Structure 1
Amino acid sequence: MPMQPLELPGPHGDWAQFVDDLVECGLADARRIATGLKDGAPRSAHEVLDRWNDSSIAVSTAGGVAGLLAQVHPEVEVRTRSEAALQELAKFGSELSLDKELYAVFAAVDGGGLDPEAARLLAKVLRDFRRSGVDRDDATRDRLKAIDERLTVLGQDFSRIIRDDVRTIRIAPERLDGLPKDYVDAHPPGDDGLVAITTDYPDLIPFTTFAHDGAARRELHTAFLNRGWPDNDPVLHEILDLRHEMATLLGYPDWAAYDAEVKMIGTGEAIGEFIERITDLADAPGRRDLAVLLARARQDDPGIEALTAADNAYYSELVRREDYEVDAQEVRRYFDFAKVSAGLLDVTGRLFGVSYRPRDDAPVWHEAVTAYDVLRGDEMIGRIYLDLHPREGKFKHAAQFGLVSGVAGRDLPEGALVCNFPTGLMEHTDVVTLFHEFGHLVHHVLGGAQRWVRFSGVATEWDFVEAPSQMLEEWAWDANVLRSFATDADGVAIPGELVAKMVAAHEFGKGRHARTQMFYAATSLGLHRDRPADHTAYVAELQERYDLLAQLPDTHFQAAFGHLDGYGSGYYTYMWSLVIAKDMFSAFDGTNLFDPKVAERYRDRVLAQGGRADAADLVADFLGQPYSFDTFGEWLAR
């Protein structure tokens, strides 16, 4: 019998009860299996791992559903119940990881006859037990369990505060000067004669890019950088302190050392070295970019001494328009959301040898969500959900959420793409973001035919997961690719010469951008390493050291830096992955990005492998040699 996707309740179903039942059943199954493993009966290594796999599948599906709904369901009750469910799952996971009897079962397993993949699983299970502190004394284990459970709650609080803190400025209509007509039409004055502009991306990005009124841009961007403040300040302090305590209880000098052990980079010290290396590589290109931006800004304000984030998008757009002859408002008329989303499916289908079948009959959590079955030939290999427009109470950024982890012959991989795009014309930056995030989704699906759920989908080291998505961005800059779906209202395709100018303009600013990324990376590392009493002052010092943009006064960036929860001390991973992505992309023929031999090799040797092997080995298998910094360094210097 063919595998079937998870049956969801639909927009009018009882989602809260659905979550409760799914989690209750998942936990019951997992507890039963764990208890059974400790009954003393003789079992082969494969029998032990099979039962562990069954337990992992039960909690994985429950966690995937609850994790998604906590961020996207339109009903507060469902989001709240989902958060409570995640706490229960985390509590169980902590209990399991600190169970000495269960650890003894795995420690006693004779792995001599295991195949390489099963042996890899056993090694990772044993490592996870060790990293949880299962071998510590009872008092330490109790404290580690309490910390783990508290961190789950704090992480939810941190994310929820950011998600719910949508700020608004109200300005006179004439201060919209410079913005596209469709944006102005979508923002009519209210009863007080003022226009409301929010910090949600569909409002923020066009406004900071096109609004001529510098004071208004600064007002909006200040509001954006102050989301989560002051409520998240004590939350972040407690998160950082508890992570440090957990790491030291486990014998590590700090959280970065603990966290880096299971990543490609290996050590906390190596993170700092990587940040300095990229900072140095980007210094000359970044200062060259900044000089151009400042020169343009001084045409408007001769006395300006520094640029802030509120100025960057605006003056970068002016430089692209005036120096590179690329007008973003001209460009955006080729990127209607409906055409872009259809084009994305066509492009990725062609590239990876799959097709997408719309499922209007599939239950979804909101009427704006669309569902597709993913097929290879006539075989269904997964299901995806696209939730791409903003609404109240929804996750505010862009991310892929794994709903169901695929297991060969058992469960189809299912995932959701959650973004906040306009329903009409898109900025090309939005198009790039859509391709990027879809890269995670297709990785989840194509890597979802694993024997062991532990290796399903995006199951590689955390500092590699962005590389496939950064790779897919390249297809959003190719003229032939774009011309297949980017057409204006009359159906005229975007001109190739315009795309060439867009690419040249895109190359401008990469050095300055890299320096800003290193500021973010230094923030995530430094806050965990130093745990300063005054986060705002500390972050300001880091921005002065690493970023080429000046700090906006009276802002508290770290309070809304959501990656401090999920990525912890590892925000460096975006740039680390980009180094690898640039190297992998060099294997493709720039004149034919759909070359089936290269595309199939990439699909089968990298994406479809999931976590079966170390990322460095997957990349080396695809490239025919280990990855290096050479391609990235050459690109950055151009």
Structure 2
Amino acid sequence: MTLTPLVLPADADAATWSVFLAERAGGELARAQRTAEELRAIAPGDDAALTVWNEIGIALGNASAVTSLLAQVHPDAGVRQQAEDLSQEISRVWTDLLLDVAVYERLAAVDADGLDERLGDGAQRVLADALRSYRRSGIDADEPTRERLRAISERLTDLGQAFGRTIRDGAGETRVPASALEGLPADYVEAHPVQEDGTVVIGTGYPDTNPFLTFSLDRDARHAVHATFLDLGWPGNDAVLAEMLRLRQEQAELLGYASWPDFDAEVKMIGTGSAIAEFIDQITADATPAAERDRDVLLARARQDHPDLHTLDVTDARFYSEVVRREQYEVDAQEVRSYFTFAKVRQGLLDLTGRLFGLTYTDVPDAPVWHEEVSVHDVWLDGERLGRIHLDLHPREGKYNHAAQFDLVPGVAGVQLPEGVLVCNFGRGRMEHSEVTTLFHEFGHLMHHILAGRHRWVRFSGVATEWDFVEAPSQMLEEWAWDAGVLQTFATDDDGTPIPVELVARMRSADEFGQGCYARTQMYYASVSYRFHAELPADQTARLRELSAQYAIFDALPDTHFHCGFGHLSGYTSAYYTYMWSLVIAKDLFSAFDPDDLFAPEVATRYRDTVLAAGGSKDAADLVADFLGRPYDSAAFRRWLTSS
């Protein structure tokens, strides 16, 4: 059977999309509920219970994907709200399902012995995962406890949406003197006209904030812009987060765990909440010598301009990191920027991933989309259409304002093609190299989703591994954005001259200069994620300051409230450590590639098939061992951390 992509509305009208959303999400939700009834009616011990369970997962996955996406990207506020409302209903159905004793009993009665032989590879793993999910939902608790767990789950869904909505819709702006544009690239200056009062408006979107903090020569203006950015979500999200933390802790205790981090870590590679704290402190200790050395270099340079400085805050550190790279490493970010035009970078990324993974992309210019700037591409392997990707890469009002990959359709072999969406907020002209690496990173998630979209069991589809591994493939793909040979295929200036090899080498050296500082900053974020959940601080802002002093290498900006705009506290909860944990693995994965030939087909194909295409069909540690031929270790990461 030839599978075809999901048909989206051809009419851009909000009413048409509203009907589509109701039919797609509502229809799949109703299908899931009907299928659950079928499962309850199955005779105890019948293997068919697991097959029907898979059908429920497909339906709920379809409903959840489309609502989660459109709640973040659709231009119409009414459609976004409708999607959020439907997401809440889907969450309630999932919660009810995982507290449904009759469904659980049908699954628990399936004989696990020989199940793979009877139903096919992976069946026993799917069953074990389902039974674990039921245990972690509280299926063994008494009825009052199950009812409380149900209420907590529904409230946490509401709070998570409110937390994200406040960040998404809370875009701010800072008015600074027109003179503050001194040092900014010409295209940036042109895009920020002077207002009648002599000021220019700097928004909180990345295309506005990032270049300003990097290049503006006006220190006061930089601090003002950064303070506005760090206060996204303040004050509303302070109370939202506090309630979210309390309810997660209550949920964990009702399920028999000492803390939310213990509950959350159980299904991750790291295993326990205490191991998270140990990991954070270990990375902090490992990174400190390099971080302090590089911090002192930045401070010495900053004091040439400001002799009274005794410490560096995060705003000054960002600016002087660029100054040091320019002066000591001969890397001028504006020069680098001249080689990265958005359209060329996007096409170059498609070309290189096609070459690396043996894929072919075909543009689908007439495909219906939710916004005219979204591009659509079908993905092919050996003449077979694997799936479809949608690239929504520029900012607009009401849109998700960070960078992430969203599912549109979870792939299932013989049932439906995987479709994924890249949602970013890049400018339409020049890109900074850091934005290029971000695009590569997020595209890695998209590749994972598409290549792992051919499993029979939806539980294995896409980015379905342990959560502290999911970033590793994306982090590894960033390595291709640092290779001169790769960059020269698409990074060219206005005259068509490729980026010089010598410049890329200097960019690498400049990037290595700040690795220790980067690691300490990441551990600060990870400590906020973990400690807030482990401690439930009464004064979140005060605890934020303490954690900054303990883990961050640079001073926090006074009177700012980073935690209220830290979106990962909603989705990643206590597990932000996973970015660094997975980076350890990513560096080890990359060590298998030949740095002189990053496109060597044998290793690239083996990586594609053993790690990416496998999805969640094995534990992450086993996937890595299949690829490397050994268990992963931290040797490559430690070499990287101390290489500057």
**Deviation by residue 1:407-455 (Cα, 9 ceiling, x = unmatched):** 0111100000000000001001000000000000000000111110011
How far did 1:32 drift?
Answer: 1.2
Give the match's secondary structure for 2:340.
Answer: coil
Residue aligning to 2:149 = 144
Instruction: Give distance in 1, aligned partners of 2:285 and 2:609.
Output: 36
How far did 1:43 drift?
Answer: 6.0
How far did 1:312 drift?
Answer: 2.0
Residue aligning to 1:80 = 81
- Write the letter of the residue equivalent to 2:93: F
Residue aligning to 1:100 = 101
Instruction: Give distance in 2, aligned partners of 1:194 and 1:42.
Output: 72
* Unaligned ranges ≥5, structure 1: none
- Mapped contact 1:221–1:309 kept (Cα < 8 A): no
Q: 2:41 aligns with which of 30, 39, 57?
A: 39
Instruction: Give distance in 2, aligned partners of 1:10 and 1:141.
Output: 44
Q: 1:535 aligns with which of 527, 531, 540?
A: 540
Instruction: Give distance in 1, aligned partners of 2:362 and 2:154.
Output: 41
Residue aligning to 2:29 = 27
Residue aligning to 1:5 = 5
Instruction: Give distance in 2, aligned partners of 1:627 and 1:10.
Output: 47
How far did 1:331 drift?
Answer: 0.5
- Write the letter of the residue equivalent to 1:282: A
Which stretch shifts more, 597-606 or 107-116?
107-116
Q: 2:456 aligns with which of 441, 448, 451?
A: 451
How far did 1:10 drift?
Answer: 3.3
Instruction: Give distance in 1, aligned partners of 2:197 and 2:640.
Output: 51
Whether 2:632 is the aligned partner of 1:632: answer: no
**Deviation by residue 1:538-574 (Cα, 9 ceiling, x = unmatched):** 0100000000110100000100000000000000000
**Deviation by residue 1:346-385 (Cα, 9 ceiling, x = unmatched):** 0000001101100011110000100000011321110000
- Write the letter of the residue equivalent to 1:544: A
- Mapped contact 2:44–2:105 kept (Cα < 8 A): no
- Write the letter of the residue equivalent to 2:2: P
Q: 2:193 aligns with which of 181, 188, 192?
A: 188
What percent of counterpart residues are identical?
59
- Write the letter of the residue equivalent to 1:6: L
- Write the letter of the residue equivalent to 2:170: D
Q: 1:240 aligns with which of 245, 251, 256?
A: 245
Instruction: Give distance in 2, aligned partners of 1:558 and 1:305.
Output: 26
Instruction: Give distance in 1, aligned partners of 2:441 and 2:311.
Output: 31
Instruction: Give distance in 2, aligned partners of 1:11 and 1:68.
Output: 18
- Mapped contact 2:337–2:432 kept (Cα < 8 A): yes
Instruction: Give distance in 1, aligned partners of 2:105 and 2:420.
Output: 35
- Mapped contact 1:400–1:440 kept (Cα < 8 A): yes
Residue aligning to 1:123 = 128
Correspondence 1:538-617 to 2 at 5 A: 538-617=543-622
Q: 2:271 aligns with which of 260, 266, 269?
A: 266
Instruction: Give distance in 1, aligned partners of 2:639 and 2:179.
Output: 45
Instruction: Give distance in 1, aligned partners of 2:30 and 2:560.
Output: 47
Correspondence 1:218-233 to 2 at 5 A: 218-233=223-238
Correspondence 1:399-438 to 2 at 5 A: 399-438=404-443
- Mapped contact 2:44–2:106 kept (Cα < 8 A): no
**Deviation by residue 1:573-626 (Cα, 9 ceiling, x = unmatched):** 000000000001000000110010110010000000000000000001101111
- Mapped contact 1:397–1:420 kept (Cα < 8 A): yes
- Mapped contact 1:463–1:573 kept (Cα < 8 A): yes
- Write the letter of the residue equivalent to 1:5: P
C-alpha RMSD of the superposition: 0.9
Give the match's secondary structure for 2:41.
Answer: coil
Correspondence 1:184-583 to 2 at 5 A: 184-583=189-588
- Write the letter of the residue equivalent to 1:10: A
Give the match's secondary structure for 2:122.
Answer: helix
Instruction: Give distance in 2, aligned partners of 1:95 and 1:539.
Output: 36
* Unaligned ranges ≥5, structure 2: none
- Write the letter of the residue equivalent to 1:69: L
- Mapped contact 1:447–1:608 kept (Cα < 8 A): yes
Q: Number of paired residues? A: 637
**Deviation by residue 1:122-174 (Cα, 9 ceiling, x = unmatched):** 00000000000011000000000000000001000000000111111112211
Instruction: Give distance in 2, aligned partners of 1:378 and 1:583.
Output: 32
- Write the letter of the residue equivalent to 1:230: P
Whether 2:59 is the aligned partner of 1:54: answer: no
- Write the letter of the residue equivalent to 1:363: P
